[in-house]
Structure 1
Amino acid sequence: MSDFVLNDSDTDLDSDEELQEAFAKGLLKPGLNEEIEKVQKTYVNNVADLRAKLKEFELKLPWVETVDLVTSVAPMAPDIALQMQQTAQRRKNIMENTKGKKQYDPTEDPVLNEFKRENLIHRQAQAAVVDGIKRLKDLNMPTKRPDDYFAEMAKSDEHMQKVRKNLMSKQAEQARTEKVRQLREQKKIAKRVQIDAKLKQAADKKQMLEQLKRVRKGKSTDLDFLEDNKGNPKNAKAKVNKKRAMKDSKFGFGGKKKGSKLNTRESSSQMDGFNSSAKKKPFNFKSKSFKPKQKNQRPGKSKRKNAKR
């Protein structure tokens, strides 16, 4: 094993010999590893030369040729402000419900910042368009394309249909996601209400058992809690079955039924509600009522004969 171990002194000699051979061949030259002094660069603001160079390539064109504008940002529309507020609230709910539950900072949200940036660019362009159209009208420049002007669109109709379809699918997906989220929230609320109801029921039952235990041991004689328990809707009487009630009224609950409708001495002596035929009013079939029929005021025979003469 000792034959394969290299001595440090041997490696140093080999490295020195290699350096000497390289120096003899001219590969190593003096001064390669010397430090070079750094020269600090000075910047000169030559205003005169800069202005002269600017005049060389400056084009003095009218404003119509350049249409350059410097305007302020247009005011934000109310619907855009509401949409931005809803987006911020939705992003806050999403970030707070994720794992980790970090504190939400709207200034560090990339999605919300991108939305604000696009809105700012849109408002800046809107203000520039309003100011530019006003200046063009003052210069009597046409701002609308003539009716007989035909131009080739940059995008084909098929491409625009694809874009529209993509936007509609994204909107439908967002609506579906929002609906699923609302259903999930409703399920959570319903489950929480159900758990609260079960806990309340268990607490009431425990309280009733404790009071019953006190009564059994003779520590209390108050039995009002039993009356309160009877008032529970679970212990209330069931609804009356109308079919059962009709059969009970028709057939009764057993007992003698024959001869129940026969007249007796008491029933025959009672004349309540009995109307004799003399008291009945004649029925008028034309008017379909019981009003008495008025007699026809026809003159007598002698009067009719005298009337014919």
Structure 2
Amino acid sequence: MSSSEYNSTDESDIELQDAFAKGLLKPGLNVPVVEQEKKVYANDVKTLKQKLLDIKNNMNWFERLDLVSKPAPLAPEIAVQLEEQEALNHSSNKSVAMNEFKRETNFHRQAQAAVLEGLARLKALGVLTKRPEDYFAEMAKSDSHMQKVRAMLVKKQAETEHIEKVRKIRQQRKMSKKLQKEGKLKKQNEKKEMLDEVKKFRKGIRKDLDFLENKKPQNKSKSGQTRSLMKRQYKDSKFGHGGKKRGLKLNTKESSANMDDYRPSFNNSKMMRPGRKNAKAMRPGKKNSKVIPRPGKNKRVKSKSQRKG
């Protein structure tokens, strides 16, 4: 920009400032103002009534079911709430249109009044307004479609249950691993402490063995102990005790000298069965028969060969 142009711009700005200070600048001098035309609303009542007659259907009220009614009376508790709400709106300078509670209440009252009047009219015309108990209506969807919907819902429910079950199993596994790890660490620590105490005892630092009594395993619950004992007794009675089996029934010095189980009356002749002494020698079926000794082997072979010849 040249010096002459710069000076001319400054002069024009100074002239505008002087004109604004004197009040010579007015709207419309520099920027043209477009005047807005006022919209004229035509209230053609005659044409509107004619159009209403054209679209109106001359049908019975039962076919139209249109009602014009005033709002139903308010319940006492709702009236109290409305009064309180109006007092708040009046204090905050809110209009009735902005009172949402009152507006919704008016809608409800209008619908309630229409229902009461409509039911009375229908009852006067003999129209049933309630379904009978044995009313059967076909569903909008077919049975096959509803079966598909039901199968889909059952499938989704089963998938959800499966996912929940898997999640619980994972949590249980994590918990069991954690418990096993803690138990293992606890055993290792106890073992380490025990070995340390044993080393101290060997070196003579410790004189007593009280740590062995303190490290005894804790007894289980009575119910679990009784159950395990019964199980152990059953297995012992069925399979016997473990360990070495040979030589368990051999006599020892103590067992031979033990006479607690000896019953002298058992070997008494009176307790023995009659005829047991000479049972081998006596022939069956004969009383007071003589004892016949058995022949030798040579005689038996000779007599056998004679019978064959």
Q: TM-score range by the shorter chain?
A: 0.3 to 0.5
* Structure of greater Rg: 2
Q: Normalising by the residue count of structure 1, what TM-score does the alignment of the two structures yield?
A: 0.35
